[in-house]
């Protein structure tokens, strides 16, 4: 993919703006001030992405080439849709030949070439609906799912790690050989069992934190590359 130019402010908007609405709570005012002065937010608006999260995926792909040659992609926890926008572009997906399926319990505005399911991924029907929606075997499974934060670090970590684990099992069940899995996690230690599982099924498993992920954020991404295929499962069951 084209290398994203991150440095600098290309929007023409002056950085360092202050929010002066004194009726707002201090915490809300600080969040809004940080948001409007975030160069990634401004670039997302300029380049037509729905969220700054687009640059996290672009930066990871620039280094690890996980989207190169991908024909079908599944996007978990997709709202508001910036990763699906990228997925649609790299797969050449169209409304007549849909190659991207996205799911979120939040409502999402329609995107060209993307089948959107407004559904909780933990719903028992979700996996089958995603496979039907994407129209074939996916080459990449993306997950930006995260549990709503409580402010308690350990609780937030465990809840998001559960989503990451469920997404990993799903990826192992549906990916084509050579495919990739990328999922959001939180700093605090990835469970040994999950890393062991992924290392059994993928040739390379690493943690990455792209530059566009805010420095103060505890989020990281777990990347499993080059799926070995389901031969391991067949051998394990003796089939």
Residues marked as catalytic:
184
Contact between 199 and 178 under an 8 Å Cβ cutoff? The reply is no
SS3 203: strand
Between helix 53-64 and helix 39-47 the angle, nearest 10°, is 90
Q: How far apart are CA 139 and CA 164, in angstroms?
A: 18
Q: How far apart are CA 187 and CA 157, in angstroms?
A: 8
DSSP string, 78-108: -TT-HHHHHHHHHHT--SSS--EEEEESS--
Cα separation, 87 vs 84, in Å, equals: 5
| Number of other CB atoms surrounding residue 176 within 10 Å | 16
């Amino acid at each position: 993919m084209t290398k994203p130019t991150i440095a600098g402010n290309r929007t023409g908007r002056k950085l360092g703006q202050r929010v002066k609405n004194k009726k707002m709570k201090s915490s809300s005012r600080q969040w809004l001030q940080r948001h409007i002065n975030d160069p990634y937010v401004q670039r997302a608006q300029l380049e037509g992405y729905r969220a700054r999260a687009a640059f996290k995926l672009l930066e990871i792909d620039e280094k690890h080439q996980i989207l190169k040659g991908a024909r079908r992609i599944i996007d978990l926890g997709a709202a508001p849709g910036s990763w699906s926008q990228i997925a649609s572009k790299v797969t050449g997906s169209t409304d007549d030949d849909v190659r991207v399926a996205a799911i979120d319990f939040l409502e999402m505005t329609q995107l060209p070439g993307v089948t959107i399911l407004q559904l909780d991924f933990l719903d028992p029907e979700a996996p089958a609906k995603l496979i039907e929606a994407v129209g074939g075997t996916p080459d990449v499974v993306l997950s930006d799912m995260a549990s709503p934060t409580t402010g308690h670090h350990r609780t937030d970590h465990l809840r998001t790690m559960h989503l990451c684990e469920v997404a990993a099992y799903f990826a192992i069940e549906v990916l084509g050989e050579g495919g990739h899995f990328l999922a959001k996690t939180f700093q605090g230690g990835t469970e040994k069992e999950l890393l062991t599982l992924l290392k059994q099924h993928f040739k390379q498993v690493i943690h990455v934190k792209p530059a566009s992920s805010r420095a103060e954020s505890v989020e990281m991404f777990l990347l499993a590359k080059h799926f070995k295929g389901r031969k391991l499962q067949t051998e394990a069951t003796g089939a």
